[in-house]
Amino acid sequence: MKRRVVLFNGPPSCGKDTAAIGLFERLTYQRLGLEHELHLSLERFSMPNKRAFAGMMGLNISTFGVVEVWEARKEEIIPSLGISYRQWQIDFSERFMKPLYGQAIFGQLLAERWLRRTVGLKEDQALIIPDSGFKSETEVLLRRGWDILLIRIHRPGTDFSKDSRSYLEFDPRPNLLQLDIQNDGTEADFQAHIVGVFQSWMKSLS
């Protein structure tokens, strides 16, 4: 059994979720020219943050990590907290989790969740991650020897000024392909481009 990981990296509102969820749904319901069965998962490094926030506030959280109602209002100040949902996640990550458990904690937790959920499966595995942004987290996955596709998304008018993450760049490695993709057209064209990139990558590994 082989394990492949697709990481989307870019600033807020660049299209990471659109790319990741679109790819997940297309692969879930269509074979898309793949030569063999592929078990697909979608996970976020930030799921512990999101679940902690949802539990604290008594809110629902979807399978894709969408916390209602604040997911669509990330920058709005939450009256009871005095900060935004985005800032709460940054504080939880950078001021609580990482100082206590190490810079790579979210990568370690994600890898453990994926391995635990796929115990006993025999087909090849593919994991889609919409929120890559810290090198230490991705390093955890690279060190396991899994094949990694890192897609950096660039979209006009977006930047990291309100986010603690950044664009990721790594020295060349045998199990890593790094690509830069522009998101400056229609959503349909963007998603089709992502699917094409994934298909080409998979064929290069076979």
pLDDT tens-digit series, residues 40-73: 899 999 999 999 999 999 999 998 899 999 999 9
Low-confidence residues of the chain, pLDDT below 50? none
DSSP string, the chain: --EEEEEEE-STTSSHHHHHHHHHHHHHH--TT-SS-EEEEE--TTHHHHHHHHHHHT--B-TT--BTTGGGGTTSEETTTTEEHHHHHHHIIIIIIHHHH-TTHHHHHHHHHHHHHTTT--SEEEEEEEEE--HHHHHHHHHTT-EEEEEEEE-TT--STT-S---------TTEEEEEEE--S-HHHHHHHHHHHHHHHHHHH-
pLDDT the model gives residue 120: 87
pLDDT the model gives residue 163: 85
Is the CATH code 3.60.20.10 the one for domain 3-45+104-205? no
pLDDT the model gives residue 34: 56
- Domain map of the chain by residue range? 3-45+104-205
